[in-house]
């Protein structure tokens, strides 16, 4: 499973809580920018799909 990050859904004005729910630390955030996923680290657990109230993380 690949995860798409829909950056245009992110208000980009706060620390992304999803960086803390990823069990392998694959979700990164530079400043308050929209998060990114390190595909080399992601284990496709799907937790981020349910974590963001804006629906930024979507199954590809």
First and final CA of the chain: distance in angstroms?
A: 7
**Least Å distance between CB 24 and ligand SF4?**
5
Q: For residue 25, what are its two tokens?
A: 């630390």
Q: What is d(CA 28, CA 13) in angstroms, rounded to the nearest whole number?
A: 15
- Please say which residue, 33 or 44, places its beta carbon nearer to ligand SF4: 44
φ/ψ of 40, rounded to 5, equals: -70, -25
- Please say which residue, 32 or 38, places its beta carbon nearer to ligand SF4: 38
Q: Which of residues 9-48 bind ligand SF4 (CB under 6 A)?
A: 22, 24, 26-27, 37, 42-48
State the residues that interact with ligand SF4 by CB under 6 A.
3, 22, 24, 26-27, 37, 42-48
């Amino acid at each position: 499973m690949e995860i798409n990050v829909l950056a245009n859904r992110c208000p980009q004005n706060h620390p992304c809580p999803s960086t803390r729910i990823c069990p392998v630390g694959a979700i990164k955030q530079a400043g308050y920018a929209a998060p990114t996923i390190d595909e080399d680290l992601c284990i496709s657990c799907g937790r981020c799909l349910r974590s963001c109230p804006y629906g930024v993380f979507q199954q590809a």
